[in-house]
Structure 1
Amino acid sequence: MAAPTVAAAPTAAPVRTPGYYVRRRLLRNQPAMAGALFIALCALVAILGYLVLPDSTPDANNSLVQLQKQPPGFRATILRLAMPDSAGEEAGNLGRRWLGGSPAQFAEVPIGGWHVVGDTLVAQPFQAPGALPEAERRYALSQVTGHAGPAAALRAEIEQNHLVQRTYWLGTDKAGRDELSRLLLGTRISLGIGLVAVLISLAIGVAVGAIAGYAGGWLDSLLLGVMTVVWSIPGIMLVIAISLAFGSKGVWTSFVAVGLTMWVDVARVVRGQLLSLREKTFVEAGRVLGLPTSRLLVRHLLPNLLGPLIVIATSNFAAAILLEAGLSFLGLGVQPPAPSWGLMVNEGFQLLGTQAGLWLTLLPGAAISLLVLSFNLLGNGLRDAYDPKTPLQ
């Protein structure tokens, strides 16, 4: 007689944390992931900075006036004249180059042609369309290389190291600087201002909102009044006031000023959430157990605000980039020669009506739009991901 078969016990469904479902919803949101990918690419460019730029001089400010306002894809022949060895030694410091760029190791001269006569290099200057003709220039071979030697050896060295073909993939601006390098370096300023602004706004907003929402009473009314007053003042006016208070304009002043104008949104969200959370059972249990208020806030209440804070941080990131671009466009933010996208739009705007003005305005404008759009798409995706009612698809 066959032994009776025993049905296998059903396996229990794996226990999933809320974070698992948040990640799953976010990863299936294609627009949000596209935005996150573009932000990650911009962040990588910002981190590498000068190490990946065609023009690695400080602020990508290598200006060749003869090549000003050239179109995208323009190619030029550059004669590089030797400079003192001290510049090359300073450029060899990798950490310094990554952080602030490296000084030019050569004096560069755009040329249209060249030939050697004895121990002299005769160069025809680069001739832009419509420009007045210039007389040819003569350089001793030793002046170009920086050292003496036989003429044949010096000529070979010049052909190998001192004559380069350079392509300006996005053209040049009105000062003859490489537009691609300045556009890439501008990501460091835009993302840097966004990051500092978000950190400052979170630090101030969470502190003020938590005190107002948890304490309640007259303190809540007082802090809410302060938020309302600050919120009613235009952000640009606040930045101007803060810049006047610091007595300067520049990158770091813009970082701090933009951050100090964006904490009210965070504070209002935190206050509203805590007004509802403080009446929950787990908060009452913590009070009965004698937990200090600081521990209740830090360990039990604020972690419940992680989702809304992440969403508002991405929104503030986009708003900070737009505010900085607007301030730089008006001349109140980052100052030349730093390559701020808003400042680059202003430079192109001044040339509108000319052939160069079109791309010098559109390129930084498109960069601002794409980065802000990416943060908005990511913010919308995070909002949906933290909403339990959003289907998992």
Structure 2
Amino acid sequence: MASAVSAAPTATTTAAARPPGYYVRQRLWQNRPAVAGLAFIALCTLVALLGYWVLPDNSPNANHGFVQIQKEGPGLRVRFLRLPLPNSVLAEPAADNNIFHIWLHGREVQAEEMPIAAYRRVDGATVAVRPWTPEGAAPAPWQQVAMHTPIKQLFDTQTHYRTYALGTDKAGRDELSRLLLGTRISLGIGLVAVLISLVLGMAVGAVAGYFGGWVDSLLLGVMTVVWSIPGIMLVIAISLALDSKGVWVSFVAVGLTMWVDVARVVRGQMLSLRSATFVEAGRVLGLPTARLIARHLLPNMRGPLIVLATSNFASAILLEAGLSFLGLGVQPPAPSWGLMVKEGYDLLGTQAGLWLTLLPGTAISLLVLSFNLLGNGLRDAYDPKTPVAV
């Protein structure tokens, strides 16, 4: 009997000793839509990290296209004849075979390829090929191609089949490869934008909220002015100031348009916390203001900032897609999802226009939806009133 009585306080003490983060995780894991969003984000992150290593077309920007097979539907399977390139055109072997170089930049094309429908031998150094034509089109005339490899080895070493699971775009490029590589740009621009907005927003909001007075009024006025300027106009101004419209300019420009949200949240939290007892104790102990803000005040805002970061992540992806659609963001031939939507939109009315618009549009929608679901789940997880399943 005594042992049963003594066991109860032990269990109560163990449960009470659990840190707040335990309950946050429990609330998050019991939110199935948030977990589904997190799983999709993790999958996209894995694809973005692997990059060119997992692409069917690992040429730079997945830009290896063929005019003969442009705007073909999903499931296309084509046979290619591979012809060696002159040595002057080939990339440096040492750089091209480096796995980190391939991961970052892709692999340069090492051979000229021709889609073929049929072939036949002419003599020991020449082969006749019939170029590939779309289904229903008239067959192309035969062409003679001089080979450097003996004919008996030709179709063991210099021909191969390639399947385009999601079809090809208007330049004959693999749509699946460009969609997968587009995750790197979308997640990259979201990450950079969120980091810039967090650093700048926390700095401005913390200073405004902690010191108050004329400093708060001045910084609040700056926030209000920046808030009133459309994000697209800011991106255009930043691009003109830097005289560039490259990928990294888009990353920085989107980040500089989103810091006001963070600054306003941090300022509001700082105004409510600066008169707290632990802050007064820190001042009495002589802690430097910078340490008091960075080590004691900002960590108390971790929950709202994480929720806001996920929301800003989704907003950054949408903003980048919109800018690329308008031609103000990532420039061709980079596989931005917004740019791919624009290319498909230009083909609407044709058979290929529907899926070339639908595929990148669906990718954008799913990724943005995942971040919004995760943000809603985190908001509920950090709310102490949300029940926890035992």
TM-score bin, normalised by smaller chain:
over 0.9
Q: Which stretch of the first structure deviates more once superposed, 199-208 or 129-138?
A: 129-138
**1:200–1:263: 8 Å Cα contact kept in structure 2?**
yes
Equivalent of residue 121 in structure 1, options 127, 136, 140: 127
Instruction: For 1:255, give the aligned amino acid.
Output: F
Alignment deviations for residues 85-113 of structure 1 (CA, whole Å, 9 cap, x no partner): 54371431211111000001110101110
- Report the secondary structure of 2:37's partner residue: helix
Alignment deviations for residues 33-89 of structure 1 (CA, whole Å, 9 cap, x no partner): 100000000000000100000000000000100000000001111111112454371
In structure 2, relative to structure 1, the CA distance for the partners of 1:367 and 1:6 (3 Å cut) is closer
**1:328–1:342: 8 Å Cα contact kept in structure 2?**
yes
What is the CA RMSD across the aligned residues, in angstroms?
1.5
Look up the match of 1:100: 105
State the shift of 1:130 in Å: 6.5
> What is the alpha-carbon distance in structure 1 between the residues aligned to residue 336 and residue 65 of structure 2?
17
> What is the alpha-carbon distance in structure 1 between the residues aligned to residue 61 and residue 234 of structure 2?
28
Look up the match of 1:87: 91
> What is the alpha-carbon distance in structure 2 between the residues aligned to residue 351 and residue 198 of structure 1?
34
Q: Which stretch of the first structure deviates more once superposed, 295-304 or 123-132?
A: 123-132
State the shift of 1:136 in Å: 1.6
Look up the match of 1:60: 62
> What is the alpha-carbon distance in structure 1 between the residues aligned to residue 4 and residue 21 of structure 2?
35
State the shift of 1:157 in Å: 2.6
Look up the match of 1:151: none
Look up the match of 1:149: none
Look up the match of 2:23: 21
Alignment deviations for residues 183-207 of structure 1 (CA, whole Å, 9 cap, x no partner): 0000000000000000000010000
- Report the secondary structure of 2:9's partner residue: coil
> What is the alpha-carbon distance in structure 1 between the residues aligned to residue 231 and residue 364 of structure 2?
19
Q: Does 1:322 align with 2:327?
A: no
Look up the match of 2:141: 135
Alignment deviations for residues 278-312 of structure 1 (CA, whole Å, 9 cap, x no partner): 01111111111111111110111000011111100
Instruction: For 1:247, give the aligned amino acid.
Output: D
State the shift of 1:342 in Å: 0.2
Look up the match of 2:216: 220
- Report the secondary structure of 2:286's partner residue: coil
> What is the alpha-carbon distance in structure 2 between the residues aligned to residue 93 and residue 233 of structure 1?
45
- Report the secondary structure of 1:11's partner residue: helix
1:1-393 pair list within 5 angstroms? 8-9=5-6, 10-12=8-10, 13=12, 14=14, 15-84=17-86, 86-87=90-91, 89=93, 90-119=95-124, 120-129=126-135, 134-142=140-148, 145=149, 154-393=150-389
Instruction: For 1:213, give the aligned amino acid.
Output: G
> What is the alpha-carbon distance in structure 2 between the residues aligned to residue 5 and residue 298 of structure 1?
49
- Report the secondary structure of 1:167's partner residue: strand
State the shift of 1:165 in Å: 1.3
- Report the secondary structure of 1:384's partner residue: helix
Q: Which stretch of the first structure deviates more once superposed, 60-69 or 9-18?
A: 9-18
> What is the alpha-carbon distance in structure 2 between the residues aligned to residue 305 and residue 5 of structure 1?
45
Runs of 4+ displaced beyond 3 Å: 4-8, 84-88, 129-134
Number of aligned residues:
380
> What is the alpha-carbon distance in structure 2 between the residues aligned to residue 99 and residue 330 of structure 1?
27
Q: In percent, how many aligned pairs have the same letter?
A: 69
- Report the secondary structure of 2:352's partner residue: helix
In structure 2, relative to structure 1, the CA distance for the partners of 1:378 and 1:5 (3 Å cut) is closer
Unmatched tracts of structure 2, length 5 or more: none
**1:209–1:267: 8 Å Cα contact kept in structure 2?**
yes
**1:239–1:257: 8 Å Cα contact kept in structure 2?**
yes
Alignment deviations for residues 259-282 of structure 1 (CA, whole Å, 9 cap, x no partner): 000000000000000000001111
State the shift of 1:128 in Å: 2.3
> What is the alpha-carbon distance in structure 2 between the residues aligned to residue 132 and residue 159 of structure 1?
25
Instruction: For 1:263, give the aligned amino acid.
Output: W
Unmatched tracts of structure 1, length 5 or more: 146-153
> What is the alpha-carbon distance in structure 2 between the residues aligned to residue 204 and residue 227 of structure 1?
12
Instruction: For 2:29, give the aligned amino acid.
Output: L
> What is the alpha-carbon distance in structure 2 between the residues aligned to residue 336 and residue 288 of structure 1?
58
